Every structure is written in C-alpha cells, then in structure tokens.
Amino acid sequence: MKNKAFLFDRDGTLIKDKNYICEFSEVEIYSYSFEALKITEKKGFISIGITNQSSIARGICKEEQVRKIHNSLMSIFKKKNIDIVKIYYCPFHENAIISEYKKNAPCRKPAPGMILEAAQEFNLDLSKSYMVGDSTRDIIAGINAGCKTALVMTGNGKKAIKELETLNIKPDLIAKNIFEIAKLV
C-alpha cells in the first residue's frame, strides 16, 4: 500500500520568510505549524519538506548551513512528537555565482524533481498527497508531480494568488495558513 504525504514549502509556509536564512537562530517557526503537522499525521500523512534554497548557489549560505537548519527543524518537531521524515532542498539556480550550483536543475520548483524523489523514497501515492506552499512555483510543482495543491496566504501567498489567477491555475485548497490547510485535507 502506498503512503500519502503532506509536502510543504519551508519559507513562508512552515516558518516565517526572512529571505535568506543561514543560521538556525534566524528561524522563526509559525506557532501553528506544530499543530498543523500533528493534525496531518493523525490523518495518516507523512510530513516532508520541499524547498528551493538558491542561497547556496548565490554564495549567501553554505550547503552545510542549510543542512544544519533542516536537522534542527526536524529535531525541534521531533521533541514535540512530530516526525518530519525528510526535508528535500534544491541548491541549484541558473544564475548562480558558485559554478558547481549553476544549472537549470530538475529539482528546482516549479519542476517536480524533489516531489518525485520523495515519492520514490517513501512509496507515495501523489494523487492522495498535498503540496502546500506560499508561491506560484510551489503550486505548479505540485501540479507537475500529480499532487493535490494548497496555497497559504502567509509568506508570498497574496502575491501568488494573483499570479495563479493570471495563469488560470487554481489550487485545490486556499487558506490563511498551514494550520487551516491541515484541517481541510
């Protein structure tokens, strides 16, 4: 039997978007994020992060710093008995200043690469999984992967809703934040 996942963007969805975060001390977890993931776990969803991290390609943060942030996030949620099984990140960008990260990679949202990798690793039924985010690229990545999609109004959500309307793309769910989405899935 395949699993279903609650796939979520990091900045602007699970935590406050502060542009480029390189140290965990800069992370501000939305207070309702803990309860949101508790709710989705009770509904049988696996929690998985899906995030573009071009700060690495741009030379702003080191890849090891991003991994430390993700390990710390997973640890804090684990202390509250919430299991984020993995946080996938894409360090690449086509305009990178660090040459090893300069490419148009299939992991960079809106491409579905990270979601498809998660589906393979965790035996996911993407048609029963949700991609939740605050940007147009999160919603398009979810659609490209065959997921249901959910747009939050935190982070860049208000900007994204206008962009999505222009593109004639409608997320399956739209809500104030990740907690409200968790109650709806």
Dihedral, CA of residue 148, residue 153, residue 154 and residue 157, to nearest 10: 80
Rounded to whole angstroms, how far apart are CA atoms 69 and 76? 11
Q: Which is it for the CA torsion 176, 12, 37, 7, positive or negative?
A: positive
- Of the candidates 70, 47, 61, 56, the one whose C-alpha atom is nearest the C-alpha of residue 130 is 47
Q: Phi and psi dihedrals of 85, rounded to 5?
A: -70, -30
SS3 31: coil
Rounded to whole angstroms, how far apart are CA atoms 147 and 149? 6
Catalytic positions: 9, 11
Return the exposure string of 51-82: e unless at least 16 CB atoms fall within 10 Å of the residue's CB, then b.
bbbbbbbbebbebebbeebbeebbeebeeeeb
